[in-house]
Amino acid sequence: MEKKKKTTIKDIANLLGITPSAVSKALSNHPRISDKTKLAVQEAVVSLNYQPNYLSSALRKGKSNLVGLIVPRVNTHFYASVIENIEAVLNLSGYNVIMAQTNESYDKECKSIDALLNIQVDGIIASIANETVDFSYYEKIKENGVPLVLFDRGENDLEVDYVGIDDYHCSYMIIEHLVKQGYKQISHITGPSHTRIYNNRIRGFKDALQKFNLSFEPDLIIESNLQIEDGRRIMTDLLKRDNRPDAVYAASDNAALGALQVLLENGIKVPEEIALVGFGNEPFSSIMRPSISTINQFSAEIGKQAALAFLDRINFPEKKVTLNKIILEAEFLIRNSSLRKVF
């Protein structure tokens, strides 16, 4: 089947018997073009199904009003909420969002960055994929003079605007709570330790154990992709160990859910025998039985602040020397899965 030819400004001009320049001016509401001509051009746009070439327009104007958004996944409440709020704030300022999902793949992340740069986006807001250890593509964004804002997962060495939470303190709060509930053998299901947020959560976990005079056993920290199947697999393995933990802290609610499924399937009482804490405040965490203790990251606010950081960067370029480092205070939601003692 032959591909239908795309309508151009020249086609509209030929239909109306005017110059392409007059059509272009009419589309941009130029004051020297009469209302009659503007109306005729608009009617021709509809009848010929004309679609503007935004890339050409961006090259002419030096501005596309497009912002690239790169996320590891869209199948979590956290990222869905961040995306929704970034888009809401940017739309109010006349920007449209083009989103790319990496599925934690470094290769997909690099290709997404290239694609966004090629279409002349005005900026990029991103959360780094778990696989990424080489940040040269993010340096490429900076070298192209394109504003870059990182959220949740960011790296200090990139020296760009960042919005997130204090992951170290969150881990510390979780361990402090578990110790006060009487748990002593605590396992941590974490993400890749090379990633800054998970490294900070591991540090908070270790420092809290030391603070409360609990021994650190390296084999009780297990790295994973933090999905439901990872929580199931790791919890199954932990139950087979001689040094079976009496509490498990998972760095995502998905992994915590998988772990909880295994515990319940094996008839293990939660939290009486083994406590469980997640991270992220996914909607299911409050309706499970038992409900899952977790960290509320205030994803909506992270999205809003990331969008505002971009707007600040684009509207006030003279502030280039000052980076926006926004660290929000998270909330520890203590629920039934870890509440053994009521004070």
SS3 122: coil
SS3 188: strand
- Look at residue 11 in the predicted model and tell me its pLDDT: 87
Contact 275, 181 (CB under 8 A): yes
Tokens of 118: 């090629």
- Look at residue 215 in the predicted model and tell me its pLDDT: 86
Give residues with Cβ within 8 angstroms of 30, minimum separation 6: none
Contact 342, 271 (CB under 8 A): no
Which own/partner contact pairs does 233-240 have at CB distance under 8 Å and 24+ positions apart?
A: 233/258, 234/189, 234/258, 234/259, 235/259, 235/262, 235/263, 236/262, 238/187, 239/266, 239/268
Quote the CA–CA distance of 250 and 280 in Å, as a whole number. Answer: 10
Q: Is the dihedral of CA 241, 246, 249, 254 positive or negative?
A: positive
Contact 171, 205 (CB under 8 A): yes
CA atoms within 13 A on the CB side of 94: 6
Whether the model clears a pTM of 0.75, i.e. scores above it, the answer is yes
Contact 70, 112 (CB under 8 A): yes
Candidates 70, 58, 170, 174; CA nearest to 119 is 58
Which own/partner contact pairs does 235-238 have at CB distance under 8 Å and 24+ positions apart?
A: 235/259, 235/262, 235/263, 236/262, 238/187
Quote the CA–CA distance of 288 and 69 in Å, as a whole number. Answer: 32
- Look at residue 13 in the predicted model and tell me its pLDDT: 86
Q: Which residues of 288-320 are buried (b: 16+ CB within 10 A; e: fewer)?
A: bebbbbbbebbbebbbbbbbbbbbbbeeeeeee
Do the strands 331-333 and 294-296 form a parallel or antiparallel pair, or are they unpaired?
Answer: antiparallel
Candidates 162, 163, 155, 177; CA nearest to 278 is 177
User: How far apart are the two ends of the chain, measured CA to CA in Å?
Assistant: 73
- Look at residue 7 in the predicted model and tell me its pLDDT: 82
- Look at residue 1 in the predicted model and tell me its pLDDT: 42
Domains of the chain: 9-52 (no CATH), 64-165+299-328 (3.40.50.2300), 167-297 (3.40.50.2300)
Contact 159, 136 (CB under 8 A): no
Quote the CA–CA distance of 180 and 208 in Å, as a whole number. Answer: 12
- Look at residue 51 in the predicted model and tell me its pLDDT: 77
* Mean pLDDT split into 10-residue runs, the chain, 343 residues: 69 88 82 87 85 62 85 93 96 94 95 93 95 93 94 85 96 97 96 94 97 92 96 97 94 97 97 97 96 97 96 79 83 96 58
Quote the CA–CA distance of 267 and 60 in Å, as a whole number. Answer: 66
- Look at residue 342 in the predicted model and tell me its pLDDT: 57
SS3 187: strand
